[in-house]
Chains A and B, each alone.
Chain A
Amino acid sequence: MRIGMFFREALRSIRANAAISVAATVTALIAVFILGAFIPSFMYVRSAVDAQTAKVDVDVYIADTATVPQVNALREKLDGLRTDGTVAAVTYVSKDDALRIMKERLRDPSVLDELPSNPLPAKFNVQPTEAENADVIVAAVTNDPALDPTEGIVYPESTADRLLTAAKFVQWAGFVLIGILLLAAVLLIGNTIRLSIFARRREVEVMRLVGATNWFIRWPFMIEGVICGLVGAVVAVGMLWGIKVGVVDAWAAGADTALTKTGSAAGTIAFPLLTVVLVGAGALLGAVGSGITLRRFLKV
């Protein structure tokens, strides 16, 4: 019964202060829209970085002079790393395979025919389970007698480190940006609620006069804030949906072949989940925004 009354009071207030309510709703709309555009982009970047870091594999080159027992010993060492979980997969690439791969890469493979012999060493391609495990693998096989003296161990140490740093940076920058956006939205909605309270100062005065408790006065304002936040969020989600279907999906379809060729596993948040998150954020923005303002402006 009381909740129904608070809702009626909130709706009455929204009608009475239509201009201010529209301002609050538009504020929430903008904040939620930016948030809604940012979250998937942020998730995409993170997932792309994850996909890159997952690709840091270690190449262990084998000397042409290495004996069969030496090569077998090296293979056993790497298999041992696989059983303890540091390595995901070990692939042997023979000299011939290496040459074939090289030929595929070159635009004019005929240059290789000029070579008197195959200069490429055989190798083990080792995929670590985690990017950080590369160091362990390198430590384990350094000084192995089967190693090729010139090529040795090749792994994208610097690339991996840079990617990890970039991933962490993207993550933190994302959190900070989202934080700033939310704070701005809360302050804007709070300001709008303050205007609403100001416009109804006399009413609040009368409410106090007839003995309304602080919470009795606050609830309609809180609900008013939440309604504005929700409506703004729903409109923002609608706009984002339009952009997703009309622009992003169409672009992704066109770029699809290029993407699959590079083997990118990058994905992003599912739209229904995003909708839930954004609508929740809108409601929360409204509640927190009005709550903070009410704390400051409704002291008896």
Chain B
Amino acid sequence: MSDGPDSGRPTFTLVEVPDTTPVDPDMAPMFSAPVQDGKRRKGDIFRPGPGPMVEFRNVVKTYDGNSRGLDGVSLGIGTGEFVFLVGPSGSGKSTFIRLIIRELRPTSGSVTVGGRDLGELRRSKVPYLRRAIGCVFQDFRLLPDRTAAENVAYALQVTGHSQKEVRRRVPEILSLVGLDDKFDRLPRELSGGEQQRVSIARALVNHPRLLIADEPTGNLDPETSLGIMDLLLRINRTGTTVLVATHDQHTVDRMQMRVIALEAGRVVRDEESAGYHEDTGEVLA
């Protein structure tokens, strides 16, 4: 369907994309990027430093039996990067992400996030790791009996913010993702795209340095997907590192960002400003 990516195409193509979010040029102050300002926040477990945000060294993850999630992956994702993780189902994308949020531990090799070796991270510190990482999933993972505002508020309450601060920040962040008039809607009363915006707002409300999105547009129609991707890109421009696992070929081709392609647990391609498929010049079906 899509034509091969035009390698000279600049990232600004986004301007052509119909944007469903209100343009907010002052988004940057909302998302601090503490690695850059050098300050450590209270309860922050990331170690300040110039190193990469995420680093995999010879990571192997074997599941029960012989099935391999990852088979010797080594790569780094720099602070402030926007990276697409692509590959067919079962290629190891989910394993990659679950290793970063320490839902899984590698069979061998090491995973470092924000300067912390996750192999040495005590179990009691895992919640603090997850607070420093925003997560967005294909199925949104919203609490079904809570309104949009309550879903976002929950992430703030978890981190011990006062009710006063919750009341201040929740409307702010919801407006930012373009849900000004949907604060009191339950997830089932929202469209897929709106639910995903709530989920992004929840991931952002604690100012994560790293935002991970696992198939964020998997359940959305192409137009809505573009809006979501645009939102992720704007978040990235404020200094937040963004990692998007997807098999949404259109989006990847259009955005021309760094692409890491996995296949059977191995990195088969890692390219700056690339499309979904290797640029071999052949016309893709």
Q: Do A and B come from one complex?
A: yes
Contact with A along B152-196 (1 / 0, CB 8 A): 001101111011000000000000000000000000000000000
- Report how far A184 CA is from B124 CA in the complex, Å: 32
Q: Which of A151-210 contact B (CB under 8 A)?
A: 202-203, 205-210
Instruction: Tell me if A216 and B126 are in contact (CB < 8 A).
Output: no
Q: Which of A1-38 contact B (CB under 8 A)?
A: 1-2, 5, 12, 16
Chain B residues contacting A255 (CB-CB under 8 Å) are none
Instruction: Give the number of residues in B that approach A within 8 Å (Cβ atoms).
Output: 25
- Report how far A193 CA is from B132 CA in the complex, Å: 31
If A1-B163, A300-B126 touch, whether A212 touches B158 (CB-CB below 8 Å) is yes
Instruction: Tell me if A216 and B158 are in contact (CB < 8 A).
Output: yes
Chain A: interface secondary structure?
Answer: helix
Residue of A nearest to B141 (CB): A206
A110 at interface, CB cutoff 8 A: no
Q: How far is the CB of A195 from chain B (nearest CB, A)?
A: 17
A211 at interface, CB cutoff 8 A: yes
B123 at interface, CB cutoff 8 A: yes
A213 at interface, CB cutoff 8 A: yes
Chain B: interface secondary structure?
Answer: helix
Residue of B nearest to A206 (CB): B141
Residue of A nearest to B162 (CB): A1
Chain B residues contacting A208 (CB-CB under 8 Å) are 127, 130
Instruction: Tell me if A211 and B163 are in contact (CB < 8 A).
Output: no
Among candidates B123, B132, B157, B159, residue contacting A5 with C-beta atoms closer than 8 Å: B157
B143 at interface, CB cutoff 8 A: yes
- Report how far A203 CA is from B141 CA in the complex, Å: 8
If A300-B123, A300-B126 touch, whether A209 touches B159 (CB-CB below 8 Å) is no
Q: How far is the CB of B183 from chain A (nearest CB, A)?
A: 18
Chain A residues contacting B101 (CB-CB under 8 Å) are 209
Instruction: Tell me if A211 and B131 are in contact (CB < 8 A).
Output: yes
- Report how far A216 CA is from B131 CA in the complex, Å: 13
Instruction: Tell me if A211 and B159 are in contact (CB < 8 A).
Output: yes
Instruction: Give the number of residues in A that approach B within 8 Å (Cβ atoms).
Output: 19
If A1-B163, A5-B157, A216-B158 touch, whether A209 touches B126 (CB-CB below 8 Å) is no
Chain A residues contacting B224 (CB-CB under 8 Å) are none
Chain A residues contacting B142 (CB-CB under 8 Å) are 206
If A203-B143, A300-B123 touch, whether A211 touches B160 (CB-CB below 8 Å) is no
| Residues in B lying within 8 Å of A, measured CB to CB | 101, 123-124, 126-132, 135, 141-143, 145, 154-155, 157-160, 162-163, 202, 206
Can you report 10 residue pairs joining A to B where beta carbons are below 8 Å apart? Answer: A1-B162, A206-B143, A208-B127, A211-B127, A211-B131, A211-B132, A212-B127, A213-B124, A213-B127, A216-B158
* New contact pairs (18) apart from A209-B101, A209-B141, A300-B126, CB-CB < 8 Å: A1-B163, A2-B160, A5-B163, A12-B145, A202-B141, A206-B143, A206-B154, A210-B130, A210-B131, A210-B135, A210-B155, A211-B129, A211-B132, A211-B155, A212-B127, A213-B127, A216-B127, A216-B158
